[in-house]
Amino acid sequence: MAELYANPYSGSGFYFSSLKDYTAKCKKKRGDFEHTIMFIDGDDDEQQLFTAMSGRDGLYPADLEDYYDVIDMEDHEKAALYWLLDNLNTDLTDALEKIEDVGLREGSAEDYAYDLIEDVGLPGNAADSYFDYGRFGRDLSIDGWLDPDPDAYDGGEDDEDYIEEETRVGRLSDEEYGYEYVDMLGGVDQLSKWTISDYFDHAAFARDMEINGEIDAFSFAGTDYVVTNASGV
């Protein structure tokens, strides 16, 4: 259980680790004990939720009971609540009402991109936009897919046209190699779906979904999460 501290505006405060402990120690204080609550030690989820609820100035005593309620929630509920408080600048009451609206899944944004494409396929022109021509071209060049065939030239390996073409191909960058091969086929859609999947840039696709506000990746209590409907909450 988190260790907290009742930090008075003047005088001495006290440490506590439960609402019962806090209430009992407050009763022992004489006079008007005005204070805020500071986080001292505890698990990552307890600290992150405390910070999300309180900001830099500490938690108000009136919010302490709510804090103890939320740190007893299920892990996925706590993660969703943290995201709502940390990203939507909403109060606790509104955040608690929206927890079930948050599309939450564990893993990185790139993991989500892999699963999304596997489940629903590539949207629109994503195959062409996110195809990794450089990596594809590098692998093709190893096996010499664009290397000219000397048997196709009258002079064989000594033919000037062969030498010129061999030199040109040899100077292509990996990306240029990939583009030229795909263009020769007639476009990315002429590749097999397995090749498209293998050379699809999932990281870039996930990054752009984040930039566009479609998803949001965050970490809570040492676990990576993705809000899959960030723009709709």
Which pLDDT value is given to residue 49? Answer: 96
For 45-51, what is the mean pLDDT?
A: 96
Q: pTM, whole model, 2 decimals?
A: 0.82
Q: In this predicted model, what pLDDT tens digit does every residue of 10-20 receive, in sequence order? A: 889 999 999 99
> Among all chains, which residue has been given the structure tokens 């040492």?
222
Name which of 27-31, 32-36, 210-214 the model is least confident about: 27-31
DSSP string, the chain: --EEEEEESSS--EEESSHHHHHHHHHH--S---EEEEEEE--HHHHHHHHHHHTTS-B-GGGHHHHHHHTTS-HHHHHHHHHHHHHS---HHHHHHHGGG--EEES-HHHHHHHHHHHH---TTHHHHTB-HHHHHHHHHHTTTT---GGGSTTGGG-HHHHHHHHHHHT--HHHHHHHHHHHHTSGGGS-HHHHHHTB-HHHHHHHHHHTTS-EEEEETTEEEEETTGGG-
pLDDT at 58 over 80: yes
Q: Strands 216-220 and 223-227, how do they pair?
A: antiparallel
Task: Indicate whether 68 pLDDT > 90.
Answer: yes
Are 101 and 140 in contact by the 8 Å Cβ rule? The answer is no
Query: Would you kindly state where each structural domain of the chain is located, as residue ranges?
Result: 3-72, 131-199
Q: What percent of the chain has pLDDT over 70?
A: 100
Show Cβ contacts of residue 94 under 8 Å, excluding neighbours closer than 6 positions.
Answer: 84
Whether 55 shows a pLDDT value over 90: the answer reads no
Q: Which of 67, 58, 56 shows the shortest CA–CA distance to 92?
A: 67
φ, ψ at 57 (rounded to 5°): -95, 0
Query: What is the pLDDT confidence band of residue 42, given thresholds at 50, 70 and 90?
Result: very high
**CB-CB contact of 12 with 49 (8 Å):** no
Please state, rounded to an integer, the average pLDDT across all residues of the chain: 94
Q: Is the pLDDT of residue 149 over 80?
A: yes
162-175: per-residue pLDDT in tens? 999 999 999 999 99
Beta bridge partners of 41: 3
For residues 84-90, give the mean pLDDT.
89
List 7's β-bridge partners, or say none. 36
pLDDT at 72: 95
The pLDDT score that the predictor gives to residue 32 is 83
